[in-house]
Amino acid sequence: MSDRLKGKVAIVTGGAAGIGEATAVLFAEEGAKVVIADVDEAAGMETVARIRAQGGEAIFVSTDISREGDARKACDEAVRAFGRLHILVNNAANFMLKGLEASIDDWHRSLGVNVIGTALISRYAAEAIKNAGGGAIVNLGSISSFIAQPSFVAYSATKAALVQMTRNMAMDLAPFNIRVNCVCPGTILTQAVHRHVERVGVTLEEFLTEERPKYLLSRIGEPREVAYAILFLASNEASFITGAHLMVDGGYTAR
């Protein structure tokens, strides 16, 4: 246990798996009380149990951020359980990897979670963070916010929107001592990667062999490597950083 987030309360959306799980566990290790907001109750409770087994404090709140009532509930439960809220990590995402063939329903699902859901929970979290005297919001963009990839139109459009939303939110919330930043990962070895590999019909090793040369570091990332970047932006160490995006992509976009 460390104390970089000692006394802080954080919500991590999509905290049941992948980058969200790694972030929730790391935050707890650094002293935060953590709310896991996710649609997957079984996996979310496993994350809570892992945190508690390590001596941390965490609760799970069943949350579909595309539903306004759920977004409000997650923030209300954080304050009810821990008395206040200081940090929101907007990690929950819908991985709609389609091009122009994406249907209207596909677009609604992608926009509903990645853009509208992020805006909804940020709205309610910001009010609670104001009441706590300030804090931080960290959004999860992607290399897909900046680069073109085949059959990624729906996903990339939402991730590009999050980068601009970060700038606008940073401007609007600065008077209330709330910093807003964005972390933009490259390919990270999560359950989403495994699902993508199955969808395209290749083995994981075949996928990794194709991906590695795209990165200056010749590998893809691990969830905890992204979690450390999120931790930095959420902590007081980043006290003069707002409206920024941080690439955590092993040098992919440096080429």
Whether 242 shows a pLDDT value over 70: the answer reads yes
- In this predicted structure, what is the pLDDT of residue 200? 83
The predicted structure's pLDDT at residue 1: 56
User: What is residue 97's predicted lDDT score, i.e. its pLDDT?
Assistant: 86
Q: Is residue 38 part of a domain?
A: yes
pLDDT of residue 72: 98
Return the pLDDT at 108: 97
Residue 52 belongs to a domain with what CATH number?
3.40.50.720
- Section 168-186 average pLDDT: 98
Which pair of tokens denotes residue 216? 């200056």
In a domain, 146, yes or no: yes
Catalytic (active site) residue 252: no
Q: Which residue, 82, 62, 67, is CA-closest to 10?
A: 82
The answer to the question of residue 203 being in a domain is no
Mean pLDDT within 160-173: 98
When pLDDT is averaged across residues 59-71 and rounded to a whole number, the result is: 98
* DSSP-based three-state secondary structure for 18: helix
Is the model more confident about 164 or about 193? 164
Indicate whether 171 belongs to any domain. yes
In-domain check, residue 58 = yes
pLDDT in tens, 188-211: 999 888 888 888 899 999 999 999
pLDDT at residue 96 in the model: 87
Catalytic residue among 155, 215, 228, 252: 155
Q: Does the structure show a pLDDT above 80 at 187?
A: yes
How would DSSP label each residue in 100-166? TT--HHHHHHHHIIIIIIHHHHHHHHHHHHHHTT-EEEEEE--GGGTS--TT-HHHHHHHHHHHHHH
Share of the chain above pLDDT 90, in %: 93
Q: Which position has the token pair 């931080």?
A: 136
Split at pLDDT 50, 70, 90, the class of 255 is confident
Q: What is the pLDDT of residue 191?
A: 87
Q: Provide the domain count of the chain.
A: 1
Show the domain range for 143.
Answer: 9-188+222-254
pLDDT tens, 9-35? 999 999 999 999 999 999 999 999 999
Over residues 127-145, mean pLDDT: 98
Q: What would the pLDDT profile of 72-117 be if each residue is shown by its tens digit?
A: 999 999 999 999 999 999 999 998 889 999 999 999 999 999 999 9
Burial 36-69 (b: 16+ CB within 10 A, else e): bbbbbeebbbbbbeebeeeebbbbbbebbbbeee
Residue 207 lies inside a defined structural domain of this protein: no
- Tell me, yes or no, whether 117 lies in a domain: yes
Q: Which residue has the tokens 């997957």?
A: 40
pLDDT at 253: 97
- d(CA 234, CA 137) in angstroms, rounded, equals 7
Residue 235 resides in a domain: yes
* Mean pLDDT of the residues in the chain: 96
**What CA–CA distance (Å, rounded) separates 73 from 176?**
22
128's tokens: 């609670």
